[in-house]
């Protein structure tokens, strides 16, 4: 007769290490909200050149271009293009904008995007339309803090 001995393992519970594990888990649970808050969207912070862009810019009229267009850039990376006739806003088209180096991209949200090369100075801006190569100059109307 072959007798088999069965060995059953009983878990050894060390109350000291169990208490230690519970404390660690509790501390990790407390840290989770801090980690989630610190992982917020860093895209909300404007670079110095983006901060310089924020405000209202009016086109410099020339003999070839007598239109009165204004671009308004807000710190939320939104804005509008306004056509002004006799001091009245005739059209006001909203957009979202991004600036990567000298490349300013304006997205009108209709599938139409405008890509510009910009040179910003303190109170003026030179714009080249990438698609056509034409250029325009703008002057700052007001520097908005929005």
Q: What is the pLDDT of residues 68-93, one digit of tens each?
A: 899 999 999 999 999 988 888 999 99
106 within some domain: yes
pLDDT at 30: 73
87 within some domain: yes
Is 105 or 31 the better-scoring residue by pLDDT? 105
112 within some domain: yes
Residue entry with tokens 């714009």 = 127
Contacts of 83 (CB under 8 A, 6+ apart): 67, 68, 69, 89, 90, 91
34 within some domain: no
Strand bridging mode 78-85 / 88-100: antiparallel
pLDDT at 127: 93
Q: Tell me the mean pLDDT in the region 132-138.
A: 91
35 within some domain: no
Token pair of 13 as six digits:
């519970």
116 within some domain: yes
Is 84 or 6 the better-scoring residue by pLDDT? 84
pLDDT exceeds cutoff 60 at 113: yes
8 within some domain: no
Q: Which structural domain range is residue 122 located in?
A: 44-142
Decide: 125 and 55 in contact? Cβ < 8 Å.
no
pLDDT exceeds cutoff 70 at 145: no
Which CATH number belongs to the domain containing residue 74 in this structure? Answer: 2.40.128.280
Distance CA 55, CA 72 (A): 6
23 within some domain: no
Domain count, the chain: 1
Q: Read off the pLDDT band of 42 (50, 70, 90).
A: low
């Amino acid at each position: 007769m072959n007798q088999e001995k069965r060995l059953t393992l009983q878990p050894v519970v060390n109350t000291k290490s169990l208490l230690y594990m519970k404390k660690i888990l509790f501390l990790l649970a407390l840290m989770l909200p801090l980690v989630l808050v610190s992982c917020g969207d860093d895209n909300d912070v404007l670079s110095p050149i983006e901060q310089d862009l924020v405000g209202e810019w009016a086109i410099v009229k020339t003999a070839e271009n007598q239109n009165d267009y204004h671009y308004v850039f807000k710190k939320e990376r939104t804005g509008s293009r306004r056509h002004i006739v006799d001091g009245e806003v005739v059209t006001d088209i909203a957009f979202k904008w991004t600036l990567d180096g000298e490349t300013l991209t304006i997205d009108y949200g209709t599938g139409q995007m405008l890509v510009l090369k910009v040179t910003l100075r303190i109170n003026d801006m030179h714009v080249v339309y990438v698609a056509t190569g034409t250029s325009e100059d703008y002057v700052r109307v007001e520097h908005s803090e929005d």
